[in-house]
């Protein structure tokens, strides 16, 4: 079976090479570069191996500095909400999934499927905290990737985002095809970025069930997340503009 790769980064202009990838099946890093044949001073090349050359800049900018192996270590879910009360200026989220089991199991989602309407729930604790933080000059921002045509869950999220925006969030949308053209991460990549200093990476299983949140503070990884944020935010559409394309 062909490996599932996710772009880490590239220094290419118009092309696809050189590029670093995550192998989502093995956890290895895959390098795409220019083939080097018959180098001198190298060890013997075994069957199935080859040398590739890439610019040093590619490794400096994008090579993962985190050498952890094994499953991610999740934070205590009881502390999850603290991150949204103690950040200093910006909480930014990249949403790449096509749906969430937690949404699909709610009466609210079932009612929306039947009527196309969602209730006004701006009084719930999430919205209360958003208003509190925004009143202090802080920002809640998100970019959501959307398939064309959107999945039912993505249409539901677009409908419910109205109350989030009225509470003070700025939620923008980006067509998945455009995200792929921009080499942004796909469905297996999902995070909250706080103050450009630390992040919570959210993990889900193949059934869209939430598994947990992993705290990331590695500066190299945070720089990569900031680059993803800047690209996604620049190209994403505001809610009213995106609504005209649905």
Domains of the chain by residue range: 5-62, 77-243
Contact of 193 with 89, CB cutoff 8 Å: no
77-243: which CATH topology?
Endonuclease; Chain A (3.30.870)
3-class DSSP assignment, residue 162 = helix
Cα(232)–Cα(142) distance, integer angstroms: 9
More confident residue, 56 or 139: 139
More confident residue, 177 or 34: 177
Residue 241's pLDDT band (cuts 50, 70, 90): very high
Amino acid 13: pLDDT: 67
Amino acid 40: pLDDT: 77
Question: Could you give the percent of the chain with pLDDT greater than 70?
Answer: 94
> 172 CB contacts (<8 Å, ≥6 apart)?
141, 142, 143, 144, 233, 236, 237, 238, 239, 242
In the chain, alpha helices (H): 56-62, 83-86, 101-104, 107-115, 125-135, 152-167, 176-181, 219-235, 239-243
What size, in residues, is the chain?
Answer: 246
pLDDT at 222 over 80: yes
Cα(85)–Cα(177) distance, integer angstroms: 34
Query: 0.85 exceeded by the pTM?
Result: no
Amino acid 166: pLDDT: 95
Least confident of 106-115, 174-183, 185-194, 201-210: 185-194
For the record, the structure tokens of 84 come out as 């949204």
Residue 140's pLDDT band (cuts 50, 70, 90): very high
């Amino acid at each position: 079976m062909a490996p599932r790769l996710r772009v880490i980064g590239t220094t290419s202009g118009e092309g696809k090479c050189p590029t670093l990838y995550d192998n989502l099946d093995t956890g290895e890093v895959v390098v795409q570069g220019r083939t080097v044949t018959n180098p001198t001073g190298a060890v013997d090349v075994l069957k199935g191996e080859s040398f590739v050359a890439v610019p040093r800049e590619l490794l400096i900018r994008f090579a993962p500095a985190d050498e952890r192996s094994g499953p991610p270590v999740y934070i205590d879910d009881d502390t999850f909400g603290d991150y949204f009360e103690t950040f200093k200026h910006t909480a930014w989220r990249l949403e790449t999934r096509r749906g969430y089991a937690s949404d699909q199991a709610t009466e609210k989602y079932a009612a929306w499927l039947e009527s196309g309407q969602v209730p006004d729930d701006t009084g719930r604790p999430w919205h209360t905290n958003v208003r509190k933080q925004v009143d202090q000059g802080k920002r809640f921002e998100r970019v959501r990737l959307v398939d064309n045509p959107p999945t039912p869950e993505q249409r539901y999220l677009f409908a419910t985002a109205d109350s989030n925006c009225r509470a003070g969030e700025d939620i923008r949308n980006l067509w998945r095809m455009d995200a792929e053209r921009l080499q942004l991460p796909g469905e297996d990549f999902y995070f909250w970025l706080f103050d450009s200093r630390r992040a919570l990476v959210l993990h889900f299983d193949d059934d869209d069930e939430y598994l947990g949140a992993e705290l990331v503070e590695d500066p190299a990884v945070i720089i990569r997340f900031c680059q993803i944020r800047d690209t996604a935010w620049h190209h994403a559409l505001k809610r009213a503009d995106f609504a005209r394309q649905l």
